[in-house]
Amino acid sequence: MAKDRVFIFDTTLRDGEQTPGASLTTKEKIKIALQLEHLGVDIIEAGFPRTSPGDLEAVREVSKNVKTPIICGLARSTKRDIDDVYEALKKAKRARVHVFLATSSIHRKYKLKKAKSEILASSIEAVKYARKKFGDVEFSPEDASRTEPDFLAQVVEAVIKAGAGTVNIPDTVGYSVPQEFGGIIKRLKEDVSNIDKAVISVHCHNDLGLGVSNSLAAVFNGARQVECTINGLGERAGNAALEEVIMALKMRKDLYGDLKTGIKTKELYKTSKLVSKLTGIAVQPNKAIIGLNAFSHESGIHQDGVLKKRVTYEIIRPQDVGFKGSNIVLGKLSGRHAFSAKLKELGYDLEQSELDQAFLRFKTLADKKKKIFDEDLATIVENELATIPEEYKLIDFSVTSGKKIKPTASVEIKKGREKLVATASGDGPIDACFKTIDKAIGVKGKLADYKVNAVTSGKDALGEASVKIKFKDGIVIGRGSSTDVIEASVLAYVNAINHLALRNKKLKKKTK
Q: Using one digit for the tens of pLDDT, what is the confidence trace for 435-482?
A: 999 999 999 889 988 988 765 555 555 677 889 998 887 788 888 878
Looking at every residue in the chain, the average pLDDT score rounds to 91
Q: Render pLDDT for 336-389 as a digit per residue (tens, 0 to 9).
A: 888 888 888 777 777 888 888 888 888 888 887 777 777 778 767 765 555 567
Residue 407 sits at the vertex; the CA angle it makes with 406 and 410, to the nearest 5 degrees, is: 130
Distance between CA atoms of 198 and 54, rounded to whole angstroms?
A: 32
End position of a domain, from candidates 366, 385, 404: 385
Same domain, 165 and 217: yes
Specify the pLDDT at position 293: 83
Range of the domain at 313: 296-385
Same domain, 469 and 359: no
Tell whether 250 is covered by a domain. yes
Same domain, 82 and 180: yes
Asked whether residue 187 carries a pLDDT value surpassing 90, the answer given is: yes
Same domain, 366 and 413: no
End position of a domain, from candidates 331, 356, 385: 385
Percent of the chain with pLDDT over 90: 67
From residue 134, give the alpha-carbon distance in Å to each of 164, 263, 461. Answer: 10, 26, 71
Burial class (CB in 10 A: 0-12, 13-18, 19+), 255: exposed
Same domain, 401 and 381: no
Tell whether 1 is covered by a domain. no
Asked whether residue 326 carries a pLDDT value surpassing 90, the answer given is: no
Q: Render pLDDT for 97-136 as a digit per residue (tens, 0 to 9).
A: 999 999 999 999 999 999 999 999 999 999 999 999 999 9
Confidence of residue 330 (pLDDT cuts 50, 70, 90): confident
Tell whether 284 is covered by a domain. no
Tell whether 192 is covered by a domain. yes
Same domain, 238 and 338: no
Strand, helix or coil for residue 205: strand
**230 dihedral zone (left: phi>0; alpha: psi -120 to 50; beta):** beta
Same domain, 168 and 135: yes
CATH of the domain at 473: 3.30.160.270
End position of a domain, from candidates 385, 414, 441: 385
Same domain, 34 and 68: yes
Percent of the chain with pLDDT over 70: 95
Same domain, 263 and 161: yes
Long-range CB contact pairs, 108-116, < 8 A, 24+: 116/151
Which helix (H) or strand (E) segment holds residue 301: the answer is: helix 300-308
Tell whether 2 is covered by a domain. no
Distance between CA atoms of 200 and 234, rounded to whole angstroms?
A: 21
Specify the pLDDT at position 302: 81
Q: Which residue has the higher pLDDT, 420 or 458?
A: 420
Distance between CA atoms of 308 and 305, rounded to whole angstroms?
A: 5
Q: Render pLDDT for 226-265 as a digit per residue (tens, 0 to 9).
A: 999 999 999 999 999 999 999 999 999 999 999 999 999 9
**pTM of the full predicted structure?**
0.75
Same domain, 266 and 308: no
Same domain, 104 and 200: yes
Instruction: State the average pLDDT over residues 265-286.
Output: 95
The total number of structural domains in the chain stands at 3
Tell whether 289 is covered by a domain. no
Asked whether residue 285 carries a pLDDT value surpassing 60, the answer given is: yes
CATH of the domain at 354: 1.10.238
Same domain, 445 and 475: yes
Specify the pLDDT at position 307: 78
Specify the pLDDT at position 413: 96
Taking a C-beta distance cutoff of 8 angstroms, is the pair 207, 237 a contact? yes
From residue 399, give the alpha-carbon distance in Å to each of 17, 423, 430, 432. Answer: 51, 9, 9, 8
